Amino acid sequence: MKTHNFYKKEEKELISINITPLIDIVFLLLVFFMLATSFIQKSTIEVNLSSGEEIETFVKEKMVILILNEKGQIYINKKLTNISSIGGQVSKIIKKNPKNKILIKSHKKIPVQKVIRLIEEVRLAGTDNIKLINLE
Burial class (CB in 10 A: 0-12, 13-18, 19+), 118: buried
Quick one: what percent of the chain has pLDDT higher than 70? 73
- 6: alpha, beta or left? (left if phi > 0; alpha if psi -120 to 50): alpha
How many Å apart are CA 133 and CA 136, to the nearest integer? 9
Task: Answer for the pair 72, 114: CB distance below 8 angstroms, yes or no.
Answer: yes
How many Å apart are CA 129 and CA 25, to the nearest integer? 55
User: CATH fold of 52-135, please?
Assistant: Nucleotidyltransferase; domain 5 (3.30.420)
pTM of the prediction?
Answer: 0.56
pLDDT of 60 over the 60 cut: no
Mean pLDDT score, 119-136:
84
pLDDT digits (tens, 9 = 90+) for 26-49: 999 999 988 888 776 666 666 665
The domain limits of the chain are: 52-135
